[in-house]
Amino acid sequence: MNKLIAPSILSADFSKLAREVEMINSSEADWIHLDVMDGVFVPNISFGFPVIEKIKEYATKPLDVHLMIVDPNRYFEKFKAVGADILTIHYEAETHLHRSVSAIKNLGMKAGVALNPHTPIALLEDIISDIDLVLIMSVNPGFGGQKFIENTFNKILKLKKMITKNESQALIEVDGGVNLSNSAKLYKTGVDILVAGNSVFSSVNPKQAIKEIKSAQ
């Protein structure tokens, strides 16, 4: 099992973006998580291509881009161009999921599929062997700082069984309400990558917070 952490830049201080990215570069973080929201799929708007391109200039870690937008397939090539290394799309936003996953991989990015809290794991049965990661939302997407939904642990266990049964290489990522109090249990339940936003950037020492969450026992 992997123990990776991807700090979410959505919770960073955007007036000091270069400094925040440099902090992640020099920390024990593995990826940089970017939440792209369009105000339609979720009730919030975050940032777009110019910001991602600028982050890529400073980043020394892979960019883990999570699309919370409608019709994401329109922009795959553009996200590749601005520096996305991992591109995750929502099951709920895609009519032709297999086609979109193939398109992402053909562009040279790793392909992820995200599930909202109400979406059953079973819906991934027919595609689990084709994707590189599954992102389980442990809050309703759209805003940072929300309370962790406890049923997430049950979903992780179901997903782990599905991955094993299908001999899939898919990693499990969890996003929402991740902090030092639940990180150890999440890793033990089978999570490979934890996305941590508010718990990192609201900390007095973000680098230490990253280290503590990642090394939680």
Residues catalogued as catalytic: 35, 175
Helix extents (H) in the chain: 17-25, 49-58, 76-82, 97-106, 152-165, 183-189, 198-201, 206-214
Among 128, 129, 147, which residue's Cα sits nearest to residue 137?
147
Q: Which residues contact 97 (CB under 8 A, 6 or more apart)?
A: 89, 91, 113, 127
Q: Which residues contact 82 (CB under 8 A, 6 or more apart)?
A: 49, 52, 53, 56
* 179's tokens: 């902090």
Q: At what angle do helices 17-25 and 49-58 cross, to 10 degrees?
A: 50
